[in-house]
Structure 1
């Protein structure tokens, strides 16, 4: 190998080899700027923005996932746009309009396929992750929600109108579909646990949730907290909770209650209720710090200027503060030392130490909403 080293060194000295800049993606993230159809590329360690990537269409309810190598983000716009964004070159690599109204997506566990769930015309469409060529179209006759990736090159999603969950296996040329009925009235969102075992849907048409054990050969619906609001006056629902923001803290789930000022605690094994915590308002996200010791909660309009922090041992609120008007989303750094908070109407992303609760920085952003760090590339369901 000495001859190779010598040749490279000689070439560099003579100018025939040009040094190339190296971009490490593990410390990066994207902030959705919903009003301007743009993304802000940010650096976690420097607490700084690096670039603005424009031209992504309607991002009013946008989400995104990352390729396994963290280089590419796949952005799902409300206008049906599917955009592939290159974080290294800081540009849109490819963009297609695949439907009239989309509501999120997922990437397969091997990174080869990207799936998008649609309100209009409904159904799920699946694309080659490299080219964005469509490889499968799965019509459902219903708005589809709660689309997640599952181990084994599968996607799981739920039908709002029909109250069914479908499992699509993409290991052959044609998708193999398993349909599960009886999931409940108007399921509105869903999550999958990090081990890929439990898929849980929230219900809008009735109080309660429904779970599926995906390790079973023939999964059957499991009712969770049926009638949790029975005997209580339900409040107007100003914004539906986002179930991707449900927390699993230790052995328990922490779930936002629809139409109530509280979060619900559920045993992760038995799915039985273990407690409730009264909150400032109707929770939108209830997100666990990576170590599971805290849950950070934000709220629906008109109480959306506030964040509460719940200790998961005592199930009590231990801190409350007001970052500013319209707190839309939170994202923890991978080890949980900081949390980044989008404050839409202040035009800021604010950064806090999760131990001291002190603000450690802020970044200007245009109507920021979702914050997505590249560490999501290595987690099922994100």
Structure 2
């Protein structure tokens, strides 16, 4: 089943539920005033204890609803679940979602000229022909604003292992049987596994971000074989479990988000390192999108204020400091040096340097939560989970 057929079935499947809800008189909240935005976003969008500093900087009041890391939930809610009436602005769950949302009329086309800080974006995303241009565009038109980005890698406990690692090979090496972990999500886990298998010559995979059915099967079967052999201690779910696995020493290494490594290292006091893998990494950015309903209701001006704020070094430097996430923008180094009393400048510069090293690896593949053969991914991932 290809992407369009999956979307069609998703729409048909959900229509009955929506009509049933309407029949019992579900009333959606009235849309807020134009100076307030209803934001559905992951907690990582907020590098502050509260939204107050952000609201003050942007000059916009936010009514925030926390968003989970489930791409399926986001696709369902925004395309068939009335999300456009509930929220004005929302974040994605990784690359490819902007295509699905734009294709189905959920999000509004954006005008970069209305953002003062648009010019701070790096060429690879701002330039329509840039390597990351696709991550905010649909059919060449801009539909999103990036607010964080990264290249996900392998975290390993150097205090425990006594050496550095620069290959995904270690994650699958029988020497570390039962002491490794992977994320319980088909997107990042199958992508980094595909990168490893392709770059080491074990499989030929044309597009590691959008595999064909036989390639998906091959990657899944490799993971199933390793899982049955006891290679993995577990498949982690959620930030806290990831931190606990690393900090406790329960696992010696695992594929994970960079903030997990940072918090685990601080919590444990051990030298837990976020490496650069020679085969490549899953690279991604997270984006902000404006719903078509909000645009029609005159919420676009408030959206552009929020967009300018997330593109500013004031915001991106604080994201880097709190969560270890950077962005596809410039200006952070100058900003942190000008406000040295607020940041550990040397640490943040070192973090940025390591990110640039990861971004530069030739085998990198972009995250794609809406691949062409999504159903095949889901079906084979279910087999990996059940193995």
Normalized per residue, the structure richer in helix is 2
Q: Which structure ranks higher in relative contact order (CA pairs < 8 Å, sequence separation ≥ 6)? A: 2
TM range (shorter): under 0.3
Normalized per residue, the structure richer in strand is 1
User: TM-score by structure 2 length?
Assistant: 0.27
